[in-house]
Amino acid sequence: MDRTDDPCTTPRDGNNPNIYSQELSTGPYSLLTGSPYDQAAPPPTYLSINYLNRVRPTDKESQLQGYEFIPEGGLKCIDERVLSNQRGIILDVIAQVSACLIKGKGVVGLSLPIRLFEPRSTLERMLDRWSFMPAFFNNIAEHNHLERFKRVIAMAVAGLYISPSQEKPFNPLLGETLQAEWPDGTKAYCEHTVHHPPVTNFYILGREFKMYGHLELTGKFKKNSLVGGLQGKVNVEFNDGQIVTFTYPQFKAGGIIMGTRTVNWEETMSFEDKQNQLSANLVFGAARKKSLFKKAIGKVDDFKGELQQNGGKLCDIEGNWLSNLVIDGVEYWNINFQQPVFHYFSTYPLPSDWRYREDLVWLAKGNSEISQKWKLKVENKQRDDRKLRGLKH
């Protein structure tokens, strides 16, 4: 154990390094404190700070591991482990729904299979999208308003390709928090403030800027695809009062039920600085889509737009979310040359931190069977708490 680690990263009693206690039913920060001890699902020791802050590779190949580029654009998942885990998931869910109905529970007992998940919270994955802040916001106070606006675009677009995992992160619990920081001292604070719909508030504090707002995680099935994204506005405020806001495009994962599993961003990404009357809309997709009589021009992962001021065009913006970004003929970002800088986690976070979730911890420790049991326990507790608040669903 690292000397700065929480004591709960080692057993309170017993000799199994993965089990916190053979007597207490949970660790001290559990949502289920006071519940009966379950021999089939003992409380785990917490994740060590060394594990949480292990070095993550930043090269392009590592970020896109398990994928290959599709000639017409976007990514194809070729990770057989992930594809194998997810095969037949629709049938599994139908079987669970049937079992719940037979027991008279409706769908209250429904719990998605743990094999769909990665041992991370949605809160953490959200921070990955901002891993280019150190690159584009370094000494940003030295630049004028227009250049800052361009750098916000670069930071947001460059982060789109980071860790497009086909595995699902854990939905945060109501009140779940995250505390982290980057090597340059920028700090991050996140809290899951609404469960239905799932909304996360965030506050990022750097030396020359702050970034804040709330984002709602959306998702729906559309034919053979899962379509969703982060709905809401991200506000970047610089020390002199300039505020740039931006929205995210729509994320699409194809081949959910059958066929090739694909990933791409689509629709529109918008940027605005009201005070300086700057705006930009990036439209994702081929410049001309393929039809019966015409060939497609460009690829589906391309984007194109204009940077405007006072409603008049200043310059063109173009690029590809898997390649580069060019503004007014200047290449601001290239996937082959610039790499992300990932956050690391605080040693002593709030007791509501995501790292204390038993289901997530057990999955990180490699025990999916116990993780599934804890996941169901946590979900049922959330449902009970929701009823106590007078909410039906």
Give domain 117-345's CATH number out of 1.20.140.10, 2.40.160.120, 3.30.750.24, 2.40.110.10: 2.40.160.120
Please report the pLDDT score of residue 296 as a whole number.
66
Please report the pLDDT score of residue 88 as a whole number.
65
Query: Is there a contact between 45 and 9 (Cβ–Cβ < 8 Å)?
Result: yes
pTM of this structure: 0.91
Please report the pLDDT score of residue 106 as a whole number.
46
Please report the pLDDT score of residue 91 as a whole number.
61
Alpha carbons 132 and 359: distance in angstroms, whole number: 30
Alpha carbons 207 and 239: distance in angstroms, whole number: 9
Number of H helices, E strands in the chain: 9, 19
Please report the pLDDT score of residue 225 as a whole number.
85
Please report the pLDDT score of residue 113 as a whole number.
84
Please report the pLDDT score of residue 389 as a whole number.
80
- Dihedral sign, Cα of residue 283, residue 121, residue 385, residue 220: positive
Q: Cα–Cα–Cα angle for 376, 378, 379, nearest 5°?
A: 65
Domain limits of the chain? Answer: 1-46+360-393, 117-345
| Intervals of the chain under pLDDT 70 | 1-4, 88-111, 163-164, 288-296, 391-393
